[in-house]
Amino acid sequence: MRYSTLTTPIGELMLTADDDGALTSVNLPNRHPDPAGWERDDELLADARRQLTEYFAGERTEFDLPLRPAGAPFQLRVWEALLRIPYGETASYGEMARELGHPTASRAVGAANGRNPIAIVVPCHRVIGANGSLTGYAGGLECKRALLDLELGRTALV
């Protein structure tokens, strides 16, 4: 496993990639795995670091990176659906469940969303409660609000 870190307005992110350079995780601040035995490789992850920096500067609305998240088939389907939520927009867990053809699976969608290993790039922060409320986020609700505010043009994070 290769890794790099990136200082951002929400804190330090840890990025991981496989040996082919496909992004395997973007870990939010205070959620970093132990990199013991991994190789630090800022060059391999330079494109991901650049695109995330552009995102936080308000200059990028879509990512163009090879992704390789590890998960169960249903989780992978949920994470693919997250990629279809446009920048600056949100969807509810129920809407996502209906889109996936499982209208009663909003809790399962929520569980898969919470296990998304590639935060920000796979935009799990764009999923909200049916009533429009912010709900759980691995980085905390303050972080989720900051990412949504950035995307809605309410505030610059840099």
From the list 124, 127, 143, 147, the catalytic residue is: 124
Domain count, the chain: 2
Q: What does the mean pLDDT of the chain come to?
A: 93
Q: 17 in a domain, yes or no? A: yes
Q: With bands split at pLDDT 50, 70 and 90, how would you rate the model's confidence at 57?
A: very high
Output the DSSP codes for the chain: -EEEEEEETTEEEEEEE-TT--EEEEEPTT-PPP-TT-EE-TTTTHHHHHHHHHHHTT--SS----B-----HHHHHHHHHHTTS-TT--EEHHHHHHHTT-TT-HHHHHHHHHT-SBTTTS-GGGEE-TTS-----TT-HHHHHHHHHHHTTS----
Would you state the pLDDT for residue 157?
A: 54
* Same domain? 42 vs 80: no
For the question of residue 124 being annotated catalytic, the response is yes
Domain containing 14 — which CATH number?
3.30.160
58-114 pLDDT, tens per residue?
Answer: 999 999 999 999 999 999 999 999 999 999 999 999 999 999 999 999 999 999 999
pTM of the model: 0.93
